[in-house]
Amino acid sequence: MKIVGQKDVKLDKAFMEEVAKRSGENVFLCYQCRKCASGCPSRMFMDSTPTELMRYVQLGMVDEAMKTNTIWYCLSCQTCSARCPQDIDIAHVVDTIRILVQEKGIKADTKNMRLFNRLWMNILKYAGRMYELALTGMLNVFTGRPFKDMSLGIKMMRKGKLKLLPSIRKPFAMMKMFSRAKRLKK
């Protein structure tokens, strides 16, 4: 836990309200019991614990919430949401902050998750189903480690565990769904 003076912190009430409203979770119920932080399997990688993240949201500490690596190390394993005594879906709050960071194009080290999400959603938009070879291939090229997991991939291919060609299902219907969603969000 970092202790800071009030003048060092940007407090943004609008951020707090936006997270609460979009997630539909009553984030103000959190009383910092730390049950989420204790159970989080990814805690050791995070700068701030999930409990601290909840406090950032309650106080409207927008920079701390959006730029901490905590949200990008969340595995969406739902342990925190399952255990919260105040019944807050914490993983949903994390998802909401991740969405805000991506929508607003905020500069943050997203641990390649921004890229991962964009690639996967684009594959869906044009193919309708996952095409693992394209996802891993593009991800490895764009992150500058083209040979990552190469031998594993070859092994899987030999065993018939990776499709060589994408299975495309009604691409026009999928594109239509995505464009309708885009229009609705405006």
Partner 1 sequence: MKIAYYPGCSLHSTGVEYDISTKKVCAALGIELVEVEDWICCGASPAHQCDELMSVALPAKNLALAARTDNLKEICAPCASCYSRLKFAQERMTDENMRKNVEQIIGSEYPEGFKVLHMLDVIVEKTGTEAVKEKVVKSLNGLKVACYYGCLMTRPPKVTGKQQFENPTEMESLMEALGAETVDWNMKTFCCGASFALTQTDVVLKLTRKILADAVSAGAQAISVGCPLCHANLDGRQEQINKKFNTNFHIPIFYFTELMGLALGFEAKDLGIFKHLTEVEDFLKERALV
Q: Which stretch binds partner 1 (CB under 8 A): 10-18, 51-59, 60-68, 142-150?
A: 142-150
How far is it, in rounded angstroms, from Cα 20 to Cα 25? 6
Report in angstroms the alpha-carbon separations of 1 from 28, 50, 79, 127, 186.
19, 11, 22, 45, 38
**Among 31, 118, 146, 150, interactor with partner 1 by CB under 8 A:** 118
- The residue type found at 25 is E
Sign of CA dihedral 54, 55, 59, 61: negative
Residue 50 or 128: which CB sits closer to partner 1? Answer: 128
* 35 touches partner 1 (CB under 8 A): no
- At closest approach, how far in Å is the CB of 14 from partner 1? 19
Close Cβ partners of 117 (under 8 Å, ≥ 6 residues apart): 102
**Among 28, 33, 41, 146, interactor with partner 1 by CB under 8 A:** 41
Q: Which stretch binds partner 1 (CB under 8 A): 9-17, 25-33, 55-63, 122-130?
A: 122-130
Q: Which stretch binds partner 1 (CB under 8 A): 4-12, 25-33, 53-61, 127-135?
A: 127-135
* 45 touches partner 1 (CB under 8 A): yes
Task: Check residue 128 and report its DSSP letter.
Answer: S
Please identify which residue in the block is written with the tokens 């189903």: 129
* Under 8 Å between Cβ of 32 and 85: no
How far is it, in rounded angstroms, from Cα 5 to Cα 128? 50
| Residues engaged in binding partner 1 (CB under 8 A) | 22, 24, 41-42, 44-45, 73, 75-79, 81-82, 87, 89, 91, 95-96, 98-99, 102, 111-114, 116-118, 120-121, 124, 128-130, 132, 135-136, 139, 143, 148-149, 152, 155-156, 159-163, 167, 169-170, 174, 176-178, 180-181, 184-185
